[in-house]
Structure 1
């Protein structure tokens, strides 16, 4: 690997790592003032725990020797001692570091669904187990030689396209978020409009940090490809995201009469989610259409929780699960050369659908079982009185803001 590719690899790793504090800012601004520390700590807790697990055994699990293997052997190089002393250790370890940032943010994304009502210790137990039995194996399926990576060859169809994580990150996290929202139940007094974002600028800052870091997220893996595709990836990451803002705001204006700042931030994130699997496989015009469509659909999808009766506090399902599904399936129609309307047939759509549904069902079922087991043993949800008062003090013994009466 040349020095330019090495430099981009470490830069991209830092960019993606910065995205997890971006999630903390984005989510933190959306909750009430007395729960913001708890919300942000769930992201930072995931950052600390998942990074350690990735180094110890997660990276080993993220690649398989056979197509139908569940995951790699976690003890094959426990703690990466062999990899760190190999001839290509310098470049190998950069790849390990880059992969860790994806594992971290995938877990952190789930936390938004249970904002304002989750115990931190229970969340950390869930995060560690879910990363081990869901994210690490799914990463192996999608990128590490597993069944999703080889699905096209197995069926005699085009290969599954998930360049940067539509299935492995967003559908995966969104399905787990839905499961936890169902297990923990609704917040006290849950209804539309009951909780307003306490700090809109913080949410906008978080969205900006996410968009900034997403260039590493989408284009980072090009360090192994001599940066051959970064131009297309970069323009699609800008275009789809910008278009999604417009799509979301148009729906808000039509539906509620006013385009909002939170809507703009949410639209940007929805666009980023949708372009993630597709960033290297769409012409820029089709990426713009993807953004518009995703922004509009996700703006409508976040209302489903009120109609269907589940409390996804910060719309992880409506943005990440729905946006991830749109971006993944959209490739079946418009992927360069293989999409139904761009020179291919229904084969691309078929493999995209199988991969998306497979990951969604697996993640949901395991997350529901884990969440249910934790809730019935040590408890996952805080007491109602702590929830109403704001859980920063009861869970972490600190406050984001000092409220003083004069």
Structure 2
């Protein structure tokens, strides 16, 4: 029997996210859309000089589809649309990714699992960034591989330190696993660092897996412009301490010209359609794709034709840009509310908040501490803190030490998902603020 560790963050979500009246700021998806919402984002497009009106909604276009198994790799249209996503930031010398190098799966979680199942086993070694989504290091361990954790540090803005790879690599290292942008910190990996990781891996023939489920959602965080919004007070002070331009969004690992790289993604996070359960795995190495397809024959065969069809609609020229714009604007608006909250509690009373402001993705990693009479700050017990806040206010967060640190690391940290409905975030932060005022400060 395969031994696998309990998936802490998913178990936490399963236990608490359906509580009546919960204000869920633990969620990692951009605020979810309905089919009607998605259709409202569609705009006419021009193809070869002809204006094309998109279908009224994706379901009407699927009404006559016979519900047989779908294409095993995913529909050719959807695979072409996904492949086109990897043109953003591509070096001129790097060819476009062929659609045949994309496989559609049941979410990025299935895509990641297929890759691990295909490429890792007993006797292999992998290096994985930490903290990150637990699947990325515990599934390889369950398959018999050993994993070295590549710890991201707050003082380095949670950007991987490439110099540390020399101390982590082993003769049997088969894979380097990154999560870009990172969950839970919201930190993207800059291009220069990605290039250094690629150089390191290329010299040794190591495969790189980049989980890129948050990649299209590069919003700039507190750097980003927000015309027409009041930037007085805490937020203005934060801007004064930071460069006045957002960092450039990182490119996909597939754009950097190394064949032995794999990227996974999904419709869940940046595209706000988690209910589709649709993701993908892509690689420039046909042998990797062929191996994944061989393994996939033993699992899910194909994705739902309905999910494939709605994803095609969402990634079409008529909808894709509007959809991403909606989610990026939501992230920019909401990060301001979270910045004001953290800024208030960075130096107030007995409570201290500390973070690295995220510039991409949907999550922030915030540490809560209390200050004693001697001025020493001690991290709160984040599990107890989250449970107490949930009971008193119905505000749900994720405890960092339990869900990302195996009870040993990231004491006092909580993950906050802030790209939900703005009204939900504002109410949750208001209740959390009052809780701190009344019970901690």
TM-score range, shorter chain: under 0.3
More helix, by proportion: 1
More strand, by proportion: 2
TM-score by length of 2: 0.25
Q: Highest CA radius of gyration, 1 or 2?
A: 2
